[in-house]
Structure 1
């Protein structure tokens, strides 16, 4: 009898293991991105689509600003001024279809990218503060569990790296871009606020990045090759660049004819999605690149002028 129970137990475990592996392989990626639907009232919406560009849907469909900066697994995080004053942003979450929308907390946020650690259970965000140098770490309930002061006049777009032990972020030496001497670069700092180090160094002789243009845009971590990618306007064109986590190596990452901007890596590192646009910024598209072959496919059409900031999300 004991032997029979043991056998059945083992069999059940094997079946569960097989089902788990099957479910993992069946998880399908999609893309979410931001669209300016109505220019006159600055109405931004979040759209979803399949990786082949099919089945595009407006998944927010409200008239306030809805803008997504991050997804983890099948959870979509976005900032919105719905039910608040104009450009007063709060954090919400939903799924790929825009279902089960929940407000995460009552913390007003800055307009910034975010990331997570510990299997998505802790989220690092930039709050709307008088002091522009601090990040907050939130738990799954939206409670503030830690604060990170970068001790720079400006800090935004925090990215956990090295298993959440460090944070890469976009920093400035003045509180706003319009103030001379902003000198935007990427920095890395320990999660406890120690050992801040400048990672990127914009070419001294390059003057093509104007006062309001990115010298070093929001960082994204390649999940397997362990470098950080970012957009930068150099030699008169926005392109993607990369920097190693110790800052010892910086290189131009891609060679696309169009300008390249906000972007994201698939969880396995095999795909890169990026916004592409012309010099006049008259049309923005979402592209998908096979990282091995470097083949790029444009997934959007000209129905909307501004289609930006794509990132990956599991559909199920």
Structure 2
């Protein structure tokens, strides 16, 4: 009887373990199914002799690389919202005269968003992706413009600075962080690049970043404060800056009270993007002489980073995350 009782207990224990294992596996598979599936879009210098830039996308593991624009001129992407990928293009117009287009991660059914000629600048959106803030070409307008997804003007934003670029909505779209300069370009003495925050009515402009006074390594043309990006869950601004002779990513709070070095990668770090869930950081990586640019992907929790690109192309830059599909 004791033997049979032990065998019964062992069978019951084994059945329980199998059941628990299957249940845990089921939970893991369910979580995996619910996990958003992203592609990474990035810009590639496809043919240097003809100034041909293309937009590529790839999977999060670096597989499935594809040219999704396949045009003869200049196409650059700087922003996506959910499954909508936005890119600027000079197709059907003069060289580097840019207009805004929308597509998906496969490059399907591209459509022109606006007849507003744009500058080469990053952008962002608010109101569930229904409104974009963009930088027009300076000959067209010196102010940022907020447009809807049909291309109609919603509002202009004058920053009050001679130079303004790379606008980023923050605080639920009620304020904008941007890269500003005290002269019209880096060619003019006193540019003093920094990140600023401003209300949508143009009031309460405040300087957020302050470049180290004794650091001269950025020189005249290096970024002291590059394109701002908002961490979606931790609510700080990240940006590239050349300090101590190397480009790294830095961060600043939205009130400017804290500024710190964000990453510790050996490579130079440039344009970058956060996944919408805040778990991943895609970074442009390059050597000191800027002879080879790669796209790297960092797990923000573990800080592990993996290079996703190879040396098929020299310039592979400006990554941004785009959802492969959405249920909405």
Does the alignment reach a TM-score above 0.5? yes
Report 1:228-239 matches (<5 A).
Answer: 228-239=237-248
- Relative to total residues, which structure has the larger strand share, 1 or 2? 1
Counterpart-to-counterpart distance in 2, 1:310 and 1:153:
28
Counterpart-to-counterpart distance in 1, 2:176 and 2:133:
9
Secondary structure of residue in 1 paired with 2:34: helix
Structure 2 partner of 1:98: 107
Secondary structure of residue in 2 paired with 1:40: helix
Q: After alignment, is 21-30 or 304-313 more displaced?
A: 21-30
Q: Is 2:96 aligned against 1:87?
A: yes
| Structure 1 contact 132–155 (Cα < 8 Å) conserved | no
Counterpart-to-counterpart distance in 1, 2:93 and 2:205:
35
Q: Is 2:182 aligned against 1:144?
A: no
Q: Write out per-residue CA displacement over residues 171-198 of structure 1, whole angstroms, 9 at most, x where no aligned residue.
A: 0001111111111000000111110000
Structure 2 partner of 1:157: 166
| Structure 2 contact 117–140 (Cα < 8 Å) conserved | no
Structure 2 partner of 1:245: 254
Deviant stretches of 4+, over 4 Å = 21-24
**TM-score for both structures, normalised by structure 1:** 0.91
Structure 1 partner of 2:289: 280
Secondary structure of residue in 2 paired with 1:106: coil
**TM-score for both structures, normalised by structure 2:** 0.88
Counterpart-to-counterpart distance in 2, 1:170 and 1:49:
29
- In the alignment, structure 2 segments of 5+ residues that lack a partner are 1-29
Deviation at 1:134, TM superposition (A): 1.1
- In the alignment, structure 1 segments of 5+ residues that lack a partner are 1-20
Structure 1 partner of 2:311: 302
Q: Write out per-residue CA displacement over residues 197-233 of structure 1, whole angstroms, 9 at most, x where no aligned residue.
A: 0000000000000211100000000000000000000
* Distance change in 2, residues 1:209/1:132 (3 Å): farther
Secondary structure of residue in 1 paired with 2:114: strand
Structure 2 partner of 1:222: 231
* Distance change in 2, residues 1:26/1:256 (3 Å): closer
Report 1:252-291 matches (<5 A).
Answer: 252-291=261-300
Q: Write out per-residue CA displacement over residues 235-280 of structure 1, whole angstroms, 9 at most, x where no aligned residue.
A: 0000000000000000000000000000000011010000000000
Structure 1 partner of 2:23: none
Structure 2 partner of 1:74: 83
Deviation at 1:133, TM superposition (A): 4.5
Which structure's CA Rg is the greater one?
2
Counterpart-to-counterpart distance in 1, 2:40 and 2:96:
25
Deviation at 1:23, TM superposition (A): 12
Secondary structure of residue in 1 paired with 2:269: strand
Deviation at 1:130, TM superposition (A): 3.6
| Structure 1 contact 133–151 (Cα < 8 Å) conserved | no
